[in-house]
Amino acid sequence: MIQLAASKFDYRIEFQENNQSAYQRAWERGILDDVCAHMISFKRPQDYWNRQRVIRAVLLCDNMVEFRERFAGATNYASVNGFSGEIQRHYTIKRERDNYAEWLNG
């Protein structure tokens, strides 16, 4: 059943997002790698992330949670290189600006 569910997807992220229960069961049973063996591997090169790419990734997301979920490597790069606080401030300012705009139009 889990293998059949996994066979419908080409990427792990698709499997995880579209059939969370089967993905979770595969992970819990320790068979996730086996049921995902047919999937296309998507891994960025070791030196992919830099400050400019992290900034671009930040701008693609609506909030910090989404950024962390979609771009774990960028999150790690920002943390290791000391500018994760700037990213958090960006989302705080964005949230305040969105709230203010909603209040004005409300």
Global model pTM greater than 0.75: no
Per-residue pLDDT tens over the stretch 84-105? 999 999 999 888 888 888 888 8
Place of tokens 């705009």: 101
> CB under 8 Å, gap of 24 or more: what pairs does 45-49 form?
48/73, 49/73, 49/74, 49/76, 49/77
User: How would residue 66 be classed by pLDDT, with cut points 50, 70 and 90?
Assistant: very high
Name the token pair of 26: 């595969």
Closest to 55 measured CA to CA, from 80, 81, 78:
78
